[in-house]
Amino acid sequence: MGRRRRVVVAGGAGFLGGHLCARLLADGYAVVCVDNFSTGRVDNVAELVDTPGFELLEHDIVAGVPVTGFLDAVVNLACPASPQDYLRMPIETLRAASAGTLALLELAKATGARFVQASTSEVYGDPLVHPQREDYWGNVNPIGPRAVYDEGKRFGEAACAAFRREHGADCGIVRIFNTYGPGMRTDDGRLIPNLVTQALAGGPLTIHGTGEQTRSLCYVTDTVDGLVRMIEGDHPGPVNIGNATELTVLQIARVVQDLIGVRAPLVRLPAMADDPRTRKPDIRLAERVLGWRPRTDLREGLRRTIRHFADRRDPAVADRGT
């Protein structure tokens, strides 16, 4: 019998990381989860800690990655991802995205492992091309407040491409579009946790800007499936992973209200600096090279997410989330 395949998941205690670790373990991989818990939580991997083959290492990837032994893949999810988090930790975000990514690339190179970089639709910035295809270079303000994240992720892509060219490293880049689902922090400031917690509380829903800006929302297990296909394939990317159903923020807010059964007023807040006006992935490349497409319909994904958030609330309001 062959040995068990072994993967490092950096940022494994985050929202996506927790789901990815669980999926990989279920698929028979051994998983080393490396996380400094800056935005992640033990809760996201609590159910995995006793699973054979799971190791949890509290560590900052900026200081190198002390993992020994053979590795089949290194997946880099380690970076604050919610605007609220990276605007609060701008320098840490730049460090994680630059020095941290380089340290993980060195680990992959030393072990001959495949490296998968979680990049983002934010590399397209406020896009001038719609929908966004992988050969579009983006429209990013390099000195705006969001640049720590957007440019950090662009650096990460450049680093993968350089390691591939210079060292023949086996790197694959996925550009992940807005993903939502159980496991997000209620207070992480992203669209779905905001809307769902506000609607469950029965209060007004806050919308930044006009609400006419669009988002394409992908359910977490679909995104994770795309990541696993990238880990198991050999495509260099970049490959968009996202749901191509595009809705305005106002439409999304109404679906959330509808599912929870409340009709509270919508309150407009000032638009966020450099907030993209449109977002919609062209996913034909993912379909062709990964055989991937999202499977979960928005209402079904939101139902599961609402149930998750409701379970963490006061029991008196929890039943609204079913």
- The yes-or-no answer on residue 149 being catalytic is yes
| DSSP string across 256-308 | HHHHHT--PPEEEEPPPTT--S---B--HHHHHHH-------HHHHHHHHHHH
Q: How far is the CB of 20 from ligand NAD (least distance, A)?
A: 9
Question: Do residues 74 and 33 lie in contact, with contact meaning Cβ atoms separated by under 8 Å?
Answer: no
Burial of 1 from C-beta contacts in 10 A (0-12 / 13-18 / 19+): exposed
Helix (H) or strand (E) holding 174: strand 171-176
Q: How far is the CB of 244 from ligand NAD (least distance, A)?
A: 15
Query: Which CB atom, from 119 or from 198, has the smaller least distance to ligand NAD?
Result: 119
**Rounded to an integer, what distance in angstroms lies between the CA atom of residue 102 and that of residue 193?**
32
Q: How far is the CB of 38 from ligand NAD (least distance, A)?
A: 4
Closest CA to 68 of 6, 117, 118: 6
Secondary structure of residue 12 in the 3-state scheme:
coil
Interface ranges with ligand NAD (CB under 6 A): 10-11, 13-17, 34-40, 60-62, 77-81, 85, 96, 100, 118, 120, 176, 178-179
DSSP collapsed to 3 states, 198-256 = HHHCCCCEEEECCCCCEEECEEHHHHHHHHHHHHHCCCCCCEEECCCCEEEHHHHHHHH
**Rounded to an integer, what distance in angstroms lies between the CA atom of residue 59 and that of residue 278?**
36
Q: How far is the CB of 17 from ligand NAD (least distance, A)?
A: 5
Query: Which CB atom, from 145 or from 318, has the smaller least distance to ligand NAD?
Result: 145
For 64, 73, 135, 140, 231, the CA distances from 282, given in Å and listed in that order, are 35, 26, 10, 19, 21
Pairing of strands 246-248, 214-216: antiparallel
219: left (phi over 0), alpha (psi -120 to 50) or beta: beta
Q: How far is the CB of 60 from ligand NAD (least distance, A)?
A: 4
Q: How far is the CB of 236 from ligand NAD (least distance, A)?
A: 18
Query: Which CB atom, from 33 or from 199, has the smaller least distance to ligand NAD?
Result: 33
Query: Which CB atom, from 34 or from 267, has the smaller least distance to ligand NAD?
Result: 34
Secondary structure of residue 54 in the 3-state scheme:
strand
| Active-site entry in 29, 86, 149, 219 | 149
Query: Which CB atom, from 10 or from 306, has the smaller least distance to ligand NAD?
Result: 10
Query: Which CB atom, from 118 or from 147, has the smaller least distance to ligand NAD?
Result: 118
**Rounded to an integer, what distance in angstroms lies between the CA atom of residue 172 and that of residue 15?**
21
**205 pairs with which residues across the strands?**
266
Catalytic residues: 149
